[in-house]
Structure 1
Amino acid sequence: MDWGKGILLVIITFVGFILTLVVISVRQDDIHLVTENYYEKEIKYQDQIEREKSAAALDREVLVFDAQAKVMVLDLPVGAKGNLQLFRPSDARLDQELALDITNEGKTTVPLEKLKSGYWRVQLTWTENGVEFYEEKKISL
């Protein structure tokens, strides 16, 4: 085989490889953005920073993960209202959102055994005495 055929064979193989990668990437349908409204959330980020500062100033840990029982334990006072988001970064179809309205004394537990195993971000946003708070935990089931 001479140089001309060898170079032609390398170019054809390279083009075939690139076309294969293009076809694979075009057919991929499970690509998810981190959030649907990314730019709107970015604009409101200063409010988020204030919520995080408020939660850090509390004298209690509000969001606790019990790995053995596979539950989230929420330490919120009576009258607190909020939102608990179970966020799966690798697949947005598994995300869940729960509305919270605390009416009983004591700690509230949220069972997580029905969730698919893997990495999750648990995000809790709540209002307590007119002040907004935010806390986040990264867990693995």
Structure 2
Amino acid sequence: MDWGKGIILTLTAFAGIIISMVVICVRQDDIHLVTQNYYEEEIKYQDQIDKMVNASMLNYEALAFDAQRRLIELNLPKGAKGTLHLFRPSDARLDQKLDFEIQDLEANAINLSELKPGYWKIKMTWVEDETSYYIEKKINI
């Protein structure tokens, strides 16, 4: 084999690899954005910062995770309303949003035993005495 054939074979192999990589990338269908409305949520982020500051000033832990029993305990006063977002960074199809309203101080636990094991972010937004709060907790199930 001479140099010309070697160069042609190398370039052909390189082009084949590039074409196969492009085909693989185009066929990939499990790409998930963190959020569908990214730009709208970015504009509203100052409100989010204010909610986080409000939550940091609380003198109690509003959200606790019990890994042994796989429970989230909401330690909020009676009358608090909000949303609990169970966020799975690796697969948006597993995300869940749960609305809650604290009416009984004894029954404020959410069972997570049916969630797929792995890394989760728990995002909780709530309103208490006309003040908005936001807290985020990272857990492994």
* Same-fold call, TM cutoff 0.5: yes
> Which letter does structure 2 place at the counterpart of 1:54?
N
SS of the residue corresponding to residue 64 of structure 1 reads strand
Residue in 2 aligned with 1:110?
110
In the alignment, what sits opposite 1:40?
40
**Are residues 1:87 and 2:87 paired?**
yes
Structure 1: 4+ residue segments shifted above 2 A: none
CA distance in 2, matches of 1:107, 1:19: 58
TM-score by length of 1: 0.97
Partner of 1:63 in structure 2? 63
For 1:73 and 1:18, locate their aligned partners in 2 and report how far apart those are by CA, in whole Å: 51
> CA offset at residue 106 of structure 1?
3.8
| Residue in structure 2 matched with residue 129 of structure 1 by the alignment | 129
Tell me, which stretches of 5 or more residues in structure 1 are unaligned? none
Deviation of 1:107 after TM superposition, in Å, equals 6.1
Query: Which residue identity does 1:73 align to in structure 2?
Result: E
- Cα RMSD after superposing both structures: 0.9
| Residue equivalent to 1:7 | 7
Rounded Cα–Cα distance in structure 2 between residues aligned with 1:80 and 1:122: 17
Q: Structure 1: how far apart are the matches of 2:94 and 2:76? A: 26
Distance 2:111 2:36 in 1: 26
Letter in 1 for 2:56: A
Structure 2 residue 81 is the aligned partner of structure 1 residue 75: no
* Counterpart-to-counterpart distance in 2, 1:105 and 1:64: 15
After TM superposition, give the deviation of residue 99 of structure 1 in Å.
Answer: 0.3
Q: How far apart, in 2, do the equivalents of 1:18 and 1:98 lie? A: 45
Write the distance in 1 (CA, Å) between the matches of 2:105 and 2:111: 18
